[in-house]
Chains A and B, each alone.
Chain A
C-alpha cells in the first residue's frame, strides 16, 4: 500500500531555506492578528507572553531535535514505518489531521481578514478561491519549490517590516506604554496560550528536519530568537504608536501599517498586504503539501493528490462558513483546542518518537 523508501523521491532542503520558510509562515500569521482572536486592549502584556512562549518553544524543540538526531538519517515517513510497524497509519493520520486543521485555521483567518478589509468591489470569495488554486499549484511543485519561493518572499517580508517599523517609530509616545500586569495575569496567560498554539512550525520541523542539510542547532536557535524578537518589536511599535487608539481597531497590524508615514510615502498598507498575502501563499502551500505527503504515506500518491484537492475545496467552504457562522468561527478559532493539538503534535508525539527509538537523549 505504501511507497518504500527506495522508490520515494527524497527532496533535500537547506537549513537556511527551511528556517526562512518557517520564519515567513510564523510571522505572517501575526499580521492577521485580530480582536476576534485576542484582546487588543492589553497588547503590552503580550511582550511577557512572547518571552514565555519563546522559552516554551525552546523546550518543545528539544525532543524534536533529538528525534531528528536519533533518526539514523531516515526521513520522517521511513522513520515512522520503521518504528511504528503496525500503527504507522495512526501517526500519519494524526499528522495529516493537524496539517488540515492548521491549513483551514490559517485560511479562515485570512478569509476573515479579507472580508473585513477588502474593497467591496472585489469579491473576497473569488480572492479566496484564487489563493487556494495558487496554493494547490504551489503544493504540487514540492517542498523545494516552496522553499525557494519563500526565500524571495522572506526578503520582501523583512523589507516591509523594516519599513513599517521605521515609519511608525516616529509616532511612538512613551506615555502609551504601561506597567506590565496592570489588569492581572490573565492577558499574559491568554497571549501565551495563543502564541504557543500558533507554534505550527514545530510539527513541520518533525517532518522536514530529516531532509534538511546544514547546522540544525544554529538554525533552530536563530529562528526561535528572531521570530519572537520580531513579535516583540511589533508589540512595542504598535503599542507605542497607537496607544488607546488600538482599542478601535479590529486588525491593529494592518491599520497600524496604514498610519505609518515616511516623507512622501504614505498609505503603503496595500503594498504590505501584497507581501503578506504572498506569505500566506507559502504557509498554505506548505501545509497542503505536508497534508498530501501524510496521506500519500498511508495510501498512495494519487490518493494523496486527490485528498489535497479535496482539502482545497474544503478550505473555500470553511472560509465562507467561518465568516458567516459565529459557531463555526468560535470553534475554529478556539485557542484551547488549537493549543492542545499543537502541544500534542509538537511535544507529546516527538517524546513518543524519542521513546520509540529506545536510545533516549545522550
Chain B
C-alpha cells in the first residue's frame, strides 16, 4: 500500500513540477532579446527583437522583429501574444530602448511594468533613441551584443552614461534623482552614441560626451580615464587612475556642494607641475560646468546629492523632502592629482 502511494506521488510530482503535463517547446515561446518602446499620444508601440529558436544554430543566431501597438504597455504585450500565438519570455531580454517621444511623455509606467514583472532582468541597460526606438532595433545586423558593447563604453571611455533598469527605477521612485542614459542614433546602418539624455518628463535635456565624463567621475562610475591635453603646443596623452570623488554638502543661506576628486595621474611628463595643474584645471572647469548645467540650469540631480545629504545632514534632507529643491547651489570643485 505504502509503495503504491509512493509511486503515485512520484508520478504526480514529476508530471506537475517538470511541467510535463503543460509543457511548451522553445519554438512556442517568444524569446524576447530586446525591447523598443515608442509612444504616440495615447498609444504605445512596441518593437520586440526576438530569438528565432527554431532556425538559430550554434554558429548563427537569427532574430525576428515583432511590432505591436496597444493603449498601454500591457496591451501591447498582449497583442504580441495574440499576433504570434506564443508565450512571451522576458527573462532573456538584453536591452531596453525608449524612443524620444516616450522620454518626453515620461517612462514611469513602462518602467513600473517591467520591475513588477518577476521574470524581467532588472540589471539590463536602458538606452534612448534619438528618434524612434524602432529605428534602432530594425537596423541591419542588429544583435543584442552590439547594444551591450555600447554600455561597456561607460567604463572604457567615460563618455557614456548608462543606467540599468534597476538604477532608472530607483531614481524614478526616489523623486529627487534624475536618471541619465545614452542616446543612440542610426547612421548608415550603424548604431552610434551621440550623447546622453536626462530622463525628465516634458523635456529632452542632453549632455555631451565630455559632460558625461564629469558625471561618471562624480558618481565614481569610472576607475580610469584616458584622455589628452594640448600642452606647450604638443598633444600629451594621460590617464587618470583610481579616480575617487567625495561629496560634501554644506548648508548656509544656500546649499554649497564641495566635490573633491582624487586620482593618480600617469603621463610621459608627470613630473611637470604646470601640466598637472593644466589637467586639473581642465577637469575642474568641466565638472563645474556640468554640475551648473544639470543642477542649476536643468534642475536635475544626477549626482545622488540627496543621498549624500541624507547621510551628512539628515535634518536638511527632511527639509529638502518638503521643498524638493536642490538647485541654485554654490559649487566648489577640488581636483587632487
**Chain A residues close to B by CB (< 8 Å):** 116-117, 119, 121-123, 126-127, 130, 133, 175-179, 182, 242-245, 247-248, 255, 258-259, 261, 267
Q: Is there contact, CB below 8 Å, between A122 and B170?
A: no
Residues of B within 8 A of A133 (CB): 9
Q: Is there contact, CB below 8 Å, between A176 and B307?
A: yes
Minimum Cβ distance to chain B for residue A350 (Å): 39
Given contacts A245-B122, A245-B166, A248-B116, contact A179 B174 (CB under 8 A): no
Residues 110-161 of B at the A interface (beta carbon under 8 Å): 112, 115-116, 118, 121-123
Majority-rule SS of A interface residues: helix
Minimum Cβ distance to chain A for residue B274 (Å): 36
Q: List 21 A-B contacts (CB under 8 A).
A: A116-B118, A122-B19, A123-B16, A130-B9, A130-B16, A175-B304, A176-B307, A177-B311, A178-B310, A179-B311, A182-B310, A242-B166, A244-B173, A245-B122, A245-B170, A248-B115, A248-B116, A255-B118, A259-B122, A259-B123, A267-B91
Interface presence of B227 (CB below 8 A): no
Interface band, chain B: 20 to 34
Which chain B residue shows the least CB distance to A130?
A: B13
Q: Is there contact, CB below 8 Å, between A243 and B314?
A: no
Given contacts A130-B16, A182-B314, contact A247 B91 (CB under 8 A): no
With the chains together, A122 CA to B14 CA distance in Å? 12
Residues of A within 8 A of B122 (CB): 245, 259
Which chain A residue shows the least CB distance to B172?
A: A244
Residues of A within 8 A of B22 (CB): 121
Q: Is there contact, CB below 8 Å, between B9 and A117?
A: no
Which chain A residue shows the least CB distance to B318?
A: A182
Residues of A within 8 A of B116 (CB): 248
Minimum Cβ distance to chain A for residue B213 (Å): 21
Interface presence of B329 (CB below 8 A): no
Given contacts A130-B13, A178-B307, A245-B166, 18 further A-B contacts (CB under 8 A): A119-B19, A121-B22, A175-B304, A175-B307, A175-B308, A175-B311, A177-B311, A179-B311, A182-B318, A243-B170, A244-B170, A244-B174, A245-B169, A245-B170, A245-B173, A248-B115, A259-B122, A267-B121
With the chains together, A123 CA to B15 CA distance in Å? 12
- Picked from B118, B307, B318, the residue with its CB within 8 Å of the CB of A258 is B118
Q: Is there contact, CB below 8 Å, between B118 and A179?
A: no
Q: Is there contact, CB below 8 Å, between B314 and A179?
A: yes
Minimum Cβ distance to chain A for residue B195 (Å): 26
Majority-rule SS of B interface residues: helix
With the chains together, A247 CA to B166 CA distance in Å? 11
A-B contact count (CB 8 A): 59
Given contacts A175-B304, A179-B310, A179-B311, contact A261 B166 (CB under 8 A): no
Given contacts A175-B307, A182-B310, A255-B118, contact A248 B169 (CB under 8 A): yes
With the chains together, A168 CA to B17 CA distance in Å? 28
Given contacts A244-B174, A248-B116, contact A122 B17 (CB under 8 A): yes
Residues of B within 8 A of A119 (CB): 19
Most-contacted residue by chain B among A119, A123, A248, A259 (CB, 10 A)? A248
- Picked from B9, B16, B311, the residue with its CB within 8 Å of the CB of A127 is B16
With the chains together, A122 CA to B169 CA distance in Å? 29
Minimum Cβ distance to chain B for residue A57 (Å): 30
Q: Residue-by-residue, is B227-257 near A (CB-CB < 8 Å gives 1, otherwise 0)?
A: 0000000000000000000000000000000
Residues of B within 8 A of A177 (CB): 311
Residues of A within 8 A of B121 (CB): 267
- Picked from B118, B173, B304, the residue with its CB within 8 Å of the CB of A247 is B173
Minimum Cβ distance to chain A for residue B114 (Å): 10
Interface presence of B74 (CB below 8 A): no
Interface presence of B202 (CB below 8 A): no
Interface presence of B12 (CB below 8 A): yes
Residues of A within 8 A of B9 (CB): 130, 133
Q: Is there contact, CB below 8 Å, between B17 and A261?
A: no
Residues of B within 8 A of A244 (CB): 170-171, 173-174
With the chains together, A5 CA to B321 CA distance in Å? 66
Residues of B within 8 A of A248 (CB): 112, 115-116, 169, 173
Most-contacted residue by chain B among A121, A130, A245 (CB, 10 A)? A245
Minimum Cβ distance to chain B for residue A124 (Å): 11
With the chains together, A247 CA to B171 CA distance in Å? 12
Residues of B within 8 A of A175 (CB): 304, 307-308, 311
With the chains together, A119 CA to B16 CA distance in Å? 12
